[in-house]
A and B are shown apart, each in its own frame.
Chain A
C-alpha cells in the first residue's frame, strides 16, 4: 500500500470517530449512546492498527488490540450490564435539546480546528489531521458530561474524552512508551468499573440516576 492511500484510510477513520461522537450526542436512549461509543472505539482501534502498519512499530499493534478488546468489547458490555441491572428509564433526558447540542458540538469542532492549526502547521507526520479531531472529541465528551444528566451518560462522556486523548497520543507521538499505555488502559478500565459501582450506589440511595437530584452539598 502506498502512503497516500494509507493517509486516506487514517483520515477517514478519524472522520468516522468524529461522526460517531456526533451520533452519541444525538442519541436519545442509553443503548444508542453506548453503541455510538462502541463504534467510535472500533474506528479508533482500526486507526491505531493503520498507524502501526505505517510506522512498523509493534507496540502500536498492542495498543490497537487492547483498544478493541477493552473499549469495543469489555467496557460496552459492562455499561450495558449496568444499565440493565439498574432498570431505570433508559431515556437520556438532555438538559440541552438534541438539535441545540448538535449545533454546539459543531461549534466546538470549529474551535478545535482553530486551536490545532498552529501545531498542525509545524508538524510533518501523516496523522497531523487527527489532532484537530482529537481535540474536538475531547470537547464533545466534556459537553456530554455537562449537558446530559444521567450518571451513566457522565461515564460515557468521560470515556469519550479518553478516546479523544488516545487519538491525540497516536497522532502526535505514535503512541506513548509501552508501560504508560498499558497503565493508562488499566486505569480507564478500573475507572469505568468504579464509576459503574457508584452508579449502583446512586441508584440505590436516590432511587434515580438523575444527577440533578444531587444538590444537598452546597454553601
Chain B
C-alpha cells in the first residue's frame, strides 16, 4: 500500500501545482510534495532493509531498488529546492512567465514519477515503458527554453534515445522469448523475479543477443560512448536543476535497467555481460577524457564528466568481484551527489554571467566567493581527490581490478582518471581565479541556493571519511545479489 501512496505523491503534486494561482503557492506545493515523497521513500527503504523484499502485484523492491529509490528521491529533493530560487530568478529577469514556471514544476514532478516507476516495477516490459516515458517527459524539460538550441537538443535527445530504447524493446522481447520453453506463455514470465529464479534454464543464445541489444539500447540512455551524442546537448540546454536531475538520477535509472539484465545473464552465461560492461566503460571514459580536454562550455564539461563517471560505474560492474561491485554501487550514489552539487553551482554561474562559455567567466572567487568555494570543492570531489567520497569509490574499484588481475584495464583506467583530473582542474581554475569579467557586479544570488548545495557538500565530505554502517550493510546486501560476498 505504501508503494501506491509513494507513486501517487508526485502525480498529485503535479496536479496541485497545475491548479495553483500564484508563484508562491506553486513553490509551496512543489516543496511540500517533494518532501513528502522523500519521507515516504525513506520509510519504504527502511522497510526493505528491515523486513526484506517487497513483492506484490506489479511491484518488486529488493535492496538494489531501495538504494535507487533513495538516490532518486534525495537528488530530486535537492533539485526541487534549488529550482525555487533558480526559477524565480528567471521570472525576475523576464526570461519566464509565471505560467511557464507552472509548466516547469508540473513536468518536474511527472518526470520524478516516471523515474520512480523504473525502479519499483517487477515486469521488465513495464520497466521499458517507464524508461521510454522518462525520455518523453524530459524532452519537454530539455527543450524548455524553446530557443533554437534548446529545440535542437530536445529533438536529438528524443530521436536518439527513442531509437536506442526501441533496440532495448527488442532485447526485452528476446529475453521473454528465451524463457518461453521454460515458463510457457504465462503473464509473469517477464517478471524479473521469475526470470532470475529460472535464470539457469533460459536459452543462452537468445539471452546473449538480448543483452547486446539491452546494452546498446539502455546504454544510449546511460550515455555510454559511442551512443552518448545526445547527452552533452541535452545537459547543456536543460534548465540547470533539470541537468542535475538528468545527470545524477536519470543516467543511474538507465544503468539500473542494464544491471537487472546483467544479473540474469551472469547466471546463464557467466562473464559475457561483464566483459561488455568493462569495454563500454573504458571506451566511455576515453571519449569523455578527449572532450573534457577541449571543452569550451562549462555545462558541456560537466556533461562529459557524467559520461566519464557512468563509464567508471560500468567499468566497476564489469570488473566484478566484491570490491568492483561494491565500489561501483557506492560510485552511483557519490557521483549523483557530487554532480548535483556541480550542476547547482553551474546554475549560479550561468545566471550571474549569462553565458556558458568558459573563456568568458573569470574571477568567480572575487565575485561570488561562496559559490566559488562550493564549485572548487565539487570540482576536486568529482575528479576524485581525497578526502571526498568519489576518491573512496574510485580506489575501491581500482583495488577490485587489481585483485582480479585486470592489470591492463586498470592501467588505462588510472591513466584516464589522471588526464581528466588535469584537464578538468585546468578549466575550473581558469574560471574561478584571475581578473574578474568586466561588467559583472560583485555579490551572490539568493541565499537559499546554498541550502541544497551545502547539504550536498557536507554529505560528500562525510562519506569520504567514513561509510555509515547502514549504507555499508545495504551495499553488502546488494552485492550478494551479484553472488559476491566480502
Q: Mark A residues whose CB is within 8 Å of B.
A: 57, 118-119, 122, 138, 142, 145, 151, 154, 158, 161-162, 165, 168-169, 172-174, 176-180, 183-184, 186-187, 190-191, 194-195, 198, 201-202, 205-206, 211, 214, 216-217, 219
Contacts and interface: CB of A to CB of B under 8 A. Distances in A.
Nearest to A151: B155
Nearest to B166: A161
B151 A205 contact: yes
Interface string B136-177: 100110010011110111111011001100100110011011
A198 B154 contact: yes
B151 A201 contact: yes
Nearest to A197: B140
B353 interface: no
B339 interface: no
Contacts of B133: 187, 190
A169 B173 contact: yes
Nearest to A183: B129
A216 B154 contact: no
A205 B128 CA distance: 32
Given A202-B151, A216-B149, A176 B163 contact: no
A187 B129 contact: yes
B126 A201 contact: no
A190 B296 CA distance: 36
A209 to B, nearest CB: 11
Contacts of A154: 159
Given A118-B205, A165-B170, A177 B233 contact: no
B163 A187 contact: no
Interface of B is mostly: helix
B110 to A, nearest CB: 12
A161 B128 CA distance: 16
Contacts of B190: 176-177, 180
Residue with the greatest number of chain B CB neighbours at <10 A, chosen from A142, A169, A173, A202: A173
Contacts of B393: none
B91 to A, nearest CB: 22
7 contacts: A57-B185, A145-B159, A158-B166, A162-B169, A177-B123, A183-B126, A191-B162
Contacts of A162: 166, 169
A176 B128 CA distance: 13
B27 to A, nearest CB: 27
A171 to B, nearest CB: 10
Interface string B182-201: 00010111100000000000
Given A119-B206, A173-B180, A219-B294, A190 B152 contact: no
A172 B155 CA distance: 33
Interface string B310-344: 00000000000000000000000000000000000
